[in-house]
Structure 1
């Protein structure tokens, strides 16, 4: 009997094993958010912002949105943000949302897929929706960028408004007003009229509004640079506003050199919105008629030490032409819900990186020698980027969407947004080829005028494709396969970093045992010790490893990002002790490190005998080179 039952149990278990597991089917989703159409919105949005709660960094928003009919409607919070190249709208900081019409609440429902969208039913007879909410901005860096302090603020309209789905943003009229703290001054490319602490901005469209951010502060000063260009500065203290005439002259020269380079102006007025602060979050973000720029205290008052920060304004200003006026066709979108495609960022950011360095040197904001030393850092860093073995440069244009500028553990292997600096190298090679193929009569300046200098005064957008870039180069130098050259540089893997443009333009990368002054300033500014080009580490001020270069001697020794060096050859860690050990290792001495990893203390020995290595550019031959001519003022 027992035997019979056992057999039956085995049979039952076998049958159960053959039965299929449960297999659900997906719940269908119907997108009820209307696609953007190029038609006028019937009415003008009224937007009123209270920006006076600087203690708690809370912006209070009241919005009146006219409606033409009853029924289903979708309101959107901006998601895909120009300049960020990614879906980084801060929807999580929107709070207290209440919508009403004719004094009665209008319920809202968040879209189950697109959480930036709110569905409502407009009641019969309603002429407008009254919308109230708060934007709870960051009060500490761990919550995101800090945009409000007791002495200044950065107001970005996309965080302070909802807009109706179904329309190109350029077709949505809006009138905005802001109340700032008493005694503050506000600056923006969007014209306004001030009455005490209240500013009423000119009627515009939603696209231009979002592209016209504001800085405001207790300590403010405006420096006219040209009839249509102003440097607007806010600072933590009044003392930081003390700019010398020659410093402002260099900023004036930046504007002059940019206009000469591009041969046009794509703005009716332009404002450099500059915050000098260690409290407000740092930023460098382009807009068509302005730029948001954040630097640390000392920009004017410690001019000699602020060199690494002084290529920020040239870069962002160049974007008025490259990125805002001329924009990659797959990057331009009709609203802030449509995904951006970043495949042409090697033009948008790469060539802007190229012109940022050039214009900094041409204007005198940065000396020629410091510019050469900055280039050396760019070349050396890309030479250390082992990720070029497997990942092509064009694929890094996906990084803003993939990583959203979050830190990476092994950036030298994973790669990051290399379309900036490797894009610079590609455009330097284009410049060198133009010079060679034209016997010195053409350069990238000619490309800039032909490509970005069209339609003087137009501050709309003209889009382009790779074929448009190639066609412009062909007009300058017809008998060269530009498409093949660019395609190779964009897609190649396993090849060394493309230094050919610098070499052809008369400079090569070398390493010495002493850092350049620019290198030392960069270390001081970023508060680390950079030994990337010897043992392969960047060390923070407390001994923590900021970066370990993939396949470097430090990597081979088992060091990891996040480790902390506590000892060097029997002594407590200091940058000097580590450098001494690296130098002594040339004669066979060990480099023995005591390393803290979590709660563990480990000993790591680095096998390296190459000594200290710091990058710089060395001139090839004598006489004026292509790079010399490139950095010469026009």
Structure 2
């Protein structure tokens, strides 16, 4: 088998440029077709790099080869191949913007991959090398294949790491984290779980022992829930920076690693960890739920086949349910924060008016449409992809609570996940797809119930009402209150309370990002892209708007909230008919009800020999 050779230079990545050179074997013939990736599994969308490829040239020795982009499949390139040529050199720059700072880079290989089109990428071999500044550290799951060969550039300023040959699929599933301040921390005694941290400063790369202990417990609790880990060594690739942009602060799942971004103090500050540490659990869980086992439509052997987004409420929804459960069980998140976040999810879902016309399943089936949806304008009416995360939490809480209550506490959703995702033995990098039938059959093995009917009513059918059955079965209730919880009086909480009340999402300066369809502000004909200039006769401020809404609560006057609104060169007065004040979500214990969260959030007995 002939091998693709890929060389990537990251030394100018802080300038948003990655330089790539690729040697591609070709067959005899007048034309060869190459492609960059199109469908990216962890993004559930056709988010490939074709639009960010610059300076693309094809060479045979010193000769520049003629190429044409395919007019239909724009990620494909048809290249004229001279007689006798068996290798083509491809040179290009990848323009990147959101996984890089001046002191660190998160390289997803999909940004720099080009390969023969229409191939089984599991059977297409590649050997990759990456060049970084000499003083930078590097971490990647490619090290599971063996130590890289290290050399230095002629000027002595760069360090080149040449990794072992693997498949294109495996390479794409093995991102690189590199940075000036990079540290590694073993999380388990067997050395199979390693936290790799790149940070803005040397000090911020130091992870407190208390945090390491929590993450170690998270590993143990995840293994207890999902069974054997289907990897040799798992690397947690975490970038800690206050200089990231956009999607920098998200996470991206892979089979034996994940890469994610958090604020600089994300691991050092217990308050930030309590709020955002669930991300570490979520991406680790994906090694089982999303990588080893994934929906059948999410398991193609190339990056050209469109992804089937059905069952995202399992892939992302189940992972989102357990991110909070595992975070609490391990001490990363407090029980109070868990319940507060649960309440915010319910409030968010109640504000998604698109649930009047769009099923939960459809938010996954149409997940790729969110890339074309146009930001926040009427986003609630469109009902986007966040719903299969958030509503998935409520769905699987419902399933868990139902199993626990019907079985008298003898069985739980943990029994399903251990059976379905653990399978009693390590499966390596193999992918085992599943269907809805497989989910139903596995749940029936844990506890017989009409699971298909539950999923049809809660997932497949349009369901205008948010599913509160799990919360109520767990002995709690959801409600709105007029004041924020203790320690939660923040600008973000105020903005959310305004959304939950009059139905406007306010940005800086009073600009309206979204208006809840059918809500009080919609009835007053407010719309996204308008700006609130004055509140009750005073200049706009977030505090003034919140006070105005609160002051009209159950008043004896006409109770109308008076605003002056502008758009383009126009300005006009608006009256919103609303008298219920600010609404802060709360999940609270019901008197005399059994507190099922005591058992749901209680740590599992663990054995780290997994």
Cα offsets for 1:294-339 (capped at 9, x unmatched): 1223313433145332211111111100010101111211100111
CA, structure 1 residues 287+297, in 2 after alignment: closer, same or farther (shift >3 Å)?
same
- Using the alignment, how far apart are the partners of 2:560 and 2:430 within structure 1? 62
Higher-Rg structure is: 1
Measure how far apart 1:517 and its partner are.
4.8
> Given the superposition, is the C-alpha separation of residues 633 and 207 from structure 1 closer, same or farther in structure 2, using an over 3 Å criterion?
same
User: Conserved in 2, the CA contact under 8 Å of 1:185 and 1:220?
Assistant: yes
* Structure 1 segment 609-624 matched on structure 2, within 5 A: 609-622=579-592
Compute the displacement of 1:67 (Å). Answer: 3.0
- 1:266 corresponding residue in structure 2: 230
Return the offset for 1:69: 3.4
Do structure 1's residue 80 and structure 2's residue 39 form an aligned pair? yes
Aligned-CA RMSD value: 2.0
| Residue 166 (str. 1) matches residue 118 (str. 2) | yes
Q: How does 1:110-509 map to 2 (within 5 A)?
A: 110-138=69-97, 146-191=98-143, 192-193=147-148, 194-195=150-151, 197-226=159-188, 227-281=191-245, 282=248, 283-404=250-371, 406-417=374-385, 418-454=387-423, 455-478=425-448, 480-493=449-462, 495-509=464-478
Secondary structure, counterpart of 1:606 in structure 2 = strand
CA drift at 1:578: 1.7
Structure 1 Cα separation of the partners of residues 592 and 202 of structure 2: 48
1:328/1:84 Cα in 2 relative to 1: closer, same or farther (>3 Å)? same
**Equivalents in 2 of 1:329, 1:163: separation in Å?**
24
* Contact preservation (8 Å) 2:549, 2:582: yes
Q: Does 1:59 align with 2:11?
A: no
Residue aligning to 1:536: 503
Cα deviation for residue 222 of structure 1 reads: 1.6
Q: Distance in 1 between matches of 2:482 and 2:130?
A: 55
Look up the SS of the partner of 1:468 in the other structure: helix
2: CA distance, partners of 1:255 / 1:96: 44
Q: Distance in 1 between matches of 2:491 and 2:141?
A: 32
Judge conservation of contact 2:225–2:414 (CA < 8 Å) in 1: yes
Is this contact kept in 2: 1:152–1:280, CA < 8 A?
no
Can you list the C-alpha shifts for 1:129-183, whole angstroms capped at 9, x where unaligned? Answer: 1111111223xxxxxxx23332111211111121112321111111111111231
Q: Give 1:601 shift.
A: 2.1
Superposed displacement of residue 124, structure 1: 2.9
Give the CA deviation at 1:398: 2.9
Q: State the Cα distance separating 1:538 from its structure 2 match.
A: 2.6
Indicate the residue corresponding to 2:596 in structure 1.
626
Q: 1:213 offset after TM fit, Å? A: 0.8
Q: Distance in 2 between matches of 1:519 and 1:116?
A: 47
The offset of 1:518, in angstroms, is 7.1
Q: Is the 8 A contact 1:374 1:518 kept in 2?
A: no
C-alpha displacement at 1:411, in angstroms?
Answer: 2.0
Q: Distance in 1 between matches of 2:14 and 2:211?
A: 34
Paired positions, count: 583
The alpha-carbon distance between structure 1 residues 530 and 541, as it changes in their structure 2 partners (threshold 3 A), is farther
Deviation string, structure 1 residues 207-236 (Cα, Å, up to 9, x no partner)? 010011112111222222122111111122
In 1, the alpha carbon distance for the partners of 2:465 and 2:309 equals 24
Which residue in the other structure is 1:582 paired with? 549
Distance in 1, Cα, partners of 2:438 & 2:362: 20
Contact in 2 for aligned 1:268/1:457 (Cα 8 Å): no
Structure 2: distance between partners of 1:76 and 1:522: 46
Against the structure 1 CA distance between its residues 475 and 522, is the aligned structure 2 distance closer, same or farther, given a 3 Å change threshold?
farther
Task: Give 1:510 deviation, angstroms.
Answer: 1.3
What secondary structure does 1:577 align onto? Answer: helix
Please say if residues 373 and 519 of structure 1, whose CA atoms lie closer than 8 Å, have aligned partners that are also in contact: no
Q: CA deviation at 1:416?
A: 0.7
Unaligned runs of 5+ in 1: 1-41, 139-145
C-alpha contact (below 8 Å) 1:97/1:131 kept by paired residues? yes
- In structure 1, C-alpha distance between the alignment counterparts of 2:518 and 2:37, rounded to whole Å: 42
Cα drift, residue 476 of structure 1:
1.4
Q: Distance in 2 between matches of 1:199 and 1:56?
A: 21
Q: So what's the TM-score if we normalise by structure 1? A: 0.88
